[in-house]
Structure 1
Amino acid sequence: MKQLKAILLGCIILAALGCKKSDNDLETNSTIVNDNFKDGQGSWLIDFVDYPKGKEEEWEIGGGISKLPGPLDTTSMALRLSSINRSDDVFMFLKKKVTGLKPNQLYTVKLEIEFASNAPSNMLGVGGAPGENVYLKAGLTPIEPIKVLQEDGYFRLNLDKDSESLSGKDLFYINHIANGTQEATYKLLNRSGEFKGRSNENGEAWIVIGTDSGHEATTTLFYTKVKANVSY
């Protein structure tokens, strides 16, 4: 009987240790964003940089929650961003603050994005292709991404995103926005990427996703889903 009790006690201890390990795994691998814009914009914000102050109307800069365009489901909502890239460098982006992270922690981020693009593949365009020369970038940063007015009259980002397909210290190249067809028709695309980013001293960080355009014409995208997982 004593031997049986000892065996049972050993099993209980092993089971408890197993549960403890599982809890630790959950702490080091967590989903911090899992948003579907059909439910609205939520706490996501949008902004634009690399254009001159006062030219918002001329460059048709803007966006917000909007219905998806045809031939997609026009009853479903998405987060729309649009501009005419007259500077050959417009960066239009969305951002969201996340909390509850470990302070000053370096994380590995696995990001999944779904968006609608009407940029055809392998097509010539003004200044660059409408698909392959519009570069999708993302990052996790300890400070809020904001526009800063420079002496030359242009708004620039306060983070290092580098240019075109190059990754910066803060934002990293993921892919382009070509829709995989020869037609300028909206298709839902899925893009994923992995990069590193850091939280601030309060355990906060900003997820930022945007497009660095080398196509000197109109780009209009409809973001539908964003999911971000972090581990350390």
Structure 2
Amino acid sequence: MKKLVLMLGLPFLFLSCNDDDKEVVPPPQMELNDQFNGDKRGWTAGFSDYPVKMESDWKLEEGIANLPAPLDTQKKGFRISGNNHSDDLFMYFKKKVSGLKPNREYNAAFTLEFASDAPSEGWAGVGGAPNAVSVGIGVVPVEPKTTVDNLDHYRMNIDKIQQKNDGKDMKVIGDIGNGTDKVGYKLLTKTGEFKGKTDANGNLWLIFGTDSGFEATTTLYYTSVKVKLTEVTPAK
């Protein structure tokens, strides 16, 4: 009888061990759908490529605001604005994503929706036309930060886009031209994909933004950003 009781108890012992040892495996995909209709949804705005202590002269501004006319002014967006004096102002947004597999490569498919008033053709400007502002996306394992270089200018700690040129950590997916030859805000959609690796804790940082070749004021309203992260299967 003792032998029978012992044998009956074994399956429950194995089941108990399996439950305790069960490992939580991060999903191979993760999707973000952030609508900027009332708050920043965990995104942080920043600026780079301008002299130290010149924020007021460059009129650097960011925050949630109502959309401008002729768009629906009852709706909101994440507004970012700057007056580019150096032909090179970088305005960006970043967000940390956690819960992914550590030290793995992920493909990030971005869909950005934003409002721009820059004509696509027929206009010229100082340093470049109003639409000479490139849109870029990126994925990095470290937090993108604005740092100060030895010339007292703010620079990024990652290899970002440089106007129309890709960087190691970002790539260009278009410009801010509104698709017309007239000044006026239009909603635009830009899409693109970029691959990046997570850190040892399964974290990565998403970044998108604009690099300007137009030496005047650019003001954009981002209404949404969608990102689909898919684990890249290693080649066999």
TM (norm. structure 2) is: 0.85
Q: Which residue of 2 aligns with 1:95?
A: 94
Q: How far is the alpha carbon of 1:28 from its aligned partner?
A: 2.5
Query: Are 2:64 and 1:60 aligned?
Result: no
Secondary structure of 1:27's counterpart equals coil
Paired residue type of 2:28: T
Q: Which residue of 2 aligns with 1:124?
A: 124
Task: Please say if residues 40 and 77 of structure 1, whose CA atoms lie closer than 8 Å, have aligned partners that are also in contact.
Answer: no
Q: How far is the alpha carbon of 1:162 from its aligned partner?
A: 4.2
RMSD over aligned Cα atoms = 1.3
Question: What CA distance in whole angstroms lies between the structure 2 residues aligned with 1:57 and 1:161?
Answer: 24
Q: Count residues with an aligned counterpart.
A: 206
Paired residue type of 2:197: R
Q: Which residue of 1 aligns with 2:20?
A: none
Question: What CA distance in whole angstroms lies between the structure 1 residues aligned with 2:190 and 2:41?
Answer: 21
Unaligned runs of 5+ in 1: 1-23
Query: Are 2:218 and 1:190 aligned?
Result: no
Larger Rg over CA atoms: 2
Q: Which residue of 1 aligns with 2:76?
A: 77
Instruction: Looking at secondary structure, tell me which structure has more helix per residue.
Output: 1
Percent identity between the two aligned chains: 45
Secondary structure of 2:40's counterpart equals coil
Query: Are 2:152 and 1:171 aligned?
Result: no
Question: What CA distance in whole angstroms lies between the structure 1 residues aligned with 2:150 and 2:181?
Answer: 41
Superposed CA offset, 1:62-97 (max 9, x none) = 111111011111111110110011011000001111
TM (norm. structure 1) is: 0.86
Runs of 4+ aligned structure 1 residues displaced above 6 Å come to none
Secondary structure of 2:27's counterpart equals helix
Paired residue type of 1:117: S
Unaligned runs of 5+ in 2: 1-24
Q: How far is the alpha carbon of 1:126 from its aligned partner?
A: 1.1
